[in-house]
Amino acid sequence: MAIKALVFDAYGTLYDVQSVRDLATKLCGAKGELITQLWRLKQLEYSWLRSLMLSYEDFWSVTRESLEFSLTAVGIAPEPLLCERLMNKYLNLDLYPEAIQALEGLRDYKLAILSNGSPAMLDALIESSGLEGRFADVISVDRVKTFKPDPACYGLVEPALGVETSEVLFVSSNGFDVAGAKRHGFQVVRVARVSAAAAPENAEIEPTEFFRLLRGAPENLGHVADWRVSRLTELVRLLDGIRN
């Protein structure tokens, strides 16, 4: 069946979660890089734990909780002003530089976002990055009160866009998200934002290398992407090949 809709993950796929690094380093000095990586890893972990515990709080709360954990873990007091400055960066994360060009080239399809982000977080991101009017829907998992990769999250797409499961091409850079979307039945493209790290020579590695070891390769969950790209602009050529 022909692809009618492209659905994008937001964090790490359209928006660069690593763009908090500069502010974290400015505010926290040499520990900024470590905070950046701990924060993202803990943010994801807390989303999964809250889903498993049936104890949903929206992604803004999860992001704040994981930030406070990360600051405390590296010996920095999670003072309200510090947390607020870092949290506000999540409302205007950097858009990946090729994203607008890619979306422009895909205008013939229904375009949507499916994200863990709360509605308020996603609205702020869309506005700050100038993407208003680009999407048929910006779908937050808040509608089902759980987080990806819970199947209920992916099940929001078809009724929202009026398409069949097989007509959706799901685009994500996150391995857990790729696995969840593929298990749901979507056709899936993995955006290899973070390349897999080479095996380290020893255990003395930097925070960024640790993050790449953990998140740079596809997850070993039995559900793999149909295609792999390195940049969003490659999607146009990929879709031309699928149609032909």
Instruction: List active site positions.
Output: 9
Terminal CA-to-CA distance of the chain, rounded, Å? 13
**Cβ neighbours of residue 72 closer than 8 Å, sequence gap 6 or more:** 78
11 secondary structure, DSSP code: B
Rg (CA), the chain: 18
d(CA 40, CA 18): 8
DSSP state at residue 172: E
The answer to whether residues 218 and 193 touch, using CB atoms and an 8 Å cutoff, is no
Q: Give CA angle at 193 (95, 149), nearest 5°.
A: 90
Q: How far is 120 from 138, CA to CA, in rounded Å?
A: 11
The residues near 135 (Cβ < 8 Å, ≥ 6 apart) are: 111, 112, 113, 126
Asked if 96 and 173 count as a contact pair (C-beta separation under 8 A), the reply is no
Q: Which of 220, 216, 217, 219 is nearest to 208 (CA)?
A: 216
